[in-house]
């Protein structure tokens, strides 16, 4: 944010004193000589006029700082709530995570982690392209697809969420095919990128926000619905396993047992992997 400093300049104009003119033949007596017009007294500047811009600048700075402090306090509360529930601090490694995201996009190796299911692996080239388009780590995109649809583009939830990234209908225009992979990915990943920006690059809070909305991204565990809490655990665990360089994910196995297997079977059938 650019701060503009206003300088106030006060110009004090003293009235001019006119000359006294008399005719040559007119007698001039001391008592009748007009006195020069008195100069207007210069009043000292009101200290308040000097202090006012300073005071206003201080108030503006306090408002801006207070807003940032409030945002930091909200993140701190989310950290404390998560820690109490056995979850690593939501801010831990944020800068490292940002570096990983940038590195993963710039590497351009055309791969995602091998921990993801065969159904998601089928979408690996598209996942890499979509990730690059939205400035995301491909493993973030793969994690979302894994949990949302397991790579089944025709998936529709009971709430009406559509496609590979389970995007709600109100994110689309009337003329768009909600389950078209590219359109669905565009709407879903744009929303995740917004949550990532909202949380200053916190991948995990952005996962929670993808499921629970911007309010969930701004709060913490105690304020999340049970579904968002589960989503947070699954996404964090799967993504961490991917970034740890593992070839298998214990968290993904648990997700499969909790109901993911049925979804992946539908995806495998659609993709003709069976």
3-state secondary structure 123-177: CHHHHHHHHHHCCCCHHHHHHHHHHHCCCCCCCECCCCCECCCCECHHHCCCCCC
Contact 78, 205 (CB under 8 A): yes
pTM of the model: 0.65
Name the strand (E) or helix (H) holding 193: helix 181-198
User: Could you give all domains of the chain from N- to C-terminal order, each with its CATH number?
Assistant: 1-84 (no CATH), 93-270 (1.10.530.10)
Query: Span 135-152, mean pLDDT?
Result: 97
90 vs 100: CA distance, rounded Å: 16
CA of residue 178 relative to chain centroid, distance: 25
Task: Find the helix packing angle between 138-148 and 124-133, rounded to 10°.
Answer: 120
More confident residue, 28 or 127: 127
Contact 143, 235 (CB under 8 A): yes
Mean pLDDT computed over every residue of the chain: 77
Q: Is the pLDDT of residue 2 over 50?
A: no
Contact 103, 247 (CB under 8 A): no
Contact 161, 168 (CB under 8 A): yes
pLDDT band (50, 70, 90) for residue 75: very low
User: What pLDDT digit, counting tens, does each position of 214-257 carry?
Assistant: 999 999 999 999 999 999 999 999 999 999 999 999 999 999 99
Output phi, psi for 70, to 5 deg: -65, -40
Q: What is the DSSP string of 46-91?
A: PHHHHHHHHHHHHHHHHHHHHHHHHHHHHHHHHHHHHHHTT---TT
Q: Is the pLDDT of residue 147 over 90?
A: yes
User: What pLDDT digit, counting tens, does each position of 154-203 carry?
Assistant: 999 999 999 999 999 999 999 999 999 999 999 999 999 999 999 999 99
Upper half-sphere CA count for residue 38 (Cβ side, 13 Å): 3
Query: Span 27-51, mean pLDDT?
Result: 52
């Amino acid at each position: 944010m650019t701060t503009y400093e206003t300088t106030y300049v006060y110009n004090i104009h003293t009235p001019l004193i006119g000359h006294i003119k008399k005719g040559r033949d007119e007698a001039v007596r001391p008592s009748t000589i007009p006195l020069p017009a008195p100069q207007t007294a210069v009043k000292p500047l009101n200290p308040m006029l000097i202090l006012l811009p300073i005071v206003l600048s201080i108030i503006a700075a306090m408002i801006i700082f207070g807003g940032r402090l409030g945002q930091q306090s909200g993140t701190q509360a989310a950290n404390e709530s998560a820690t109490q529930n056995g979850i690593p601090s939501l801010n831990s490694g944020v800068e490292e995570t940002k570096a990983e995201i940038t590195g993963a996009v710039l590497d351009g190796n055309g791969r995602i982690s091998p921990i993801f299911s065969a159904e998601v692996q089928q979408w690996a080239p598209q996942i890499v392209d979509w990730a690059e388009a939205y400035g995301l780590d491909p493993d973030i995109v793969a994690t979302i697809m894994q949990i949302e649809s397991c790579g089944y583009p025709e998936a529709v939830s009971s709430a009406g969420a559509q496609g590979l990234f389970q995007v709600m209908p109100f994110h689309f225009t009337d003329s768009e095919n909600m389950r078209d992979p590219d359109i669905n990915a565009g709407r879903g990943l744009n929303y995740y990128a917004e949550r990532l920006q909202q949380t200053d690059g916190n991948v995990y809070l952005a996962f929670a926000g993808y499921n629970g909305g911007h309010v969930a991204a701004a709060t913490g565990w105690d304020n999340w619905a049970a579904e968002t809490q589960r989503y947070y655990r699954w996404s964090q665990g799967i993504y961490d396993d991917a970034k740890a360089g593992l070839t298998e994910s214990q968290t993904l196995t648990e997700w499969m047992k909790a109901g993911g297997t049925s979804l992946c079977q539908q995806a495998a059938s659609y993709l003709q992997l069976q």
